[in-house]
Amino acid sequence: ILNVEQSPQSLHVQEGDSTNFTCSFPSSNFYALHWYRWETAKSPEALFVMTLNGDEKKKGRISATLNTKEGYSYLYIKGSQPEDSATYLCAFRRVEQFYFGTGTSLTVIP
């Protein structure tokens, strides 16, 4: 079984705060790292696909970094808003197979 770990498991922040969470994955046989945003009762929404060590990607107030040598990725949210409340999933991809973490549940308090 391949372990993909996300921390923290859940997080409550005040509106306007910046926050970040971690995804840890095996550093061998890396193909890609995916981040998804999953709101309750909706489909997980693809945020980023990261493939190269040192990759940094940005989408509005959300950004992500990747370190394949040490096996981690950070997701940052700047100036959190209530609409950012969701579960953020990472998935380690080894060619065809995706291995998911359990997610970080973010609640932004107005």
Q: Which is nearer to other proteins, 14 or 97 (CB)?
A: 97
Q: Which is nearer to other proteins, 48 or 84 (CB)?
A: 48
Of 94, 86, 72, the closest CA to residue 6 belongs to 72
Which stretch, 21-29, 69-77, 78-86, 94-102, contacts other proteins (CB under 8 A)?
94-102
Residue 98 touches other proteins, criterion: CB under 8 A: yes
CA torsion angle 85 4 33 86 (round to 10): -10
Which stretch, 16-24, 29-37, 66-74, 77-85, contacts other proteins (CB under 8 A)?
29-37
Q: Prior bond to 8 cis, omega within 30?
A: yes
Q: Which is nearer to other proteins, 40 or 70 (CB)?
A: 40
Q: How far apart are CA 48 and CA 68, in angstroms?
A: 15
Which stretch, 18-26, 39-47, 65-73, 75-83, contacts other proteins (CB under 8 A)?
39-47
Query: Which positions touch other proteins (CB under 8 A)?
Result: 4, 31-32, 34, 36, 41-46, 49, 51, 89, 96-103
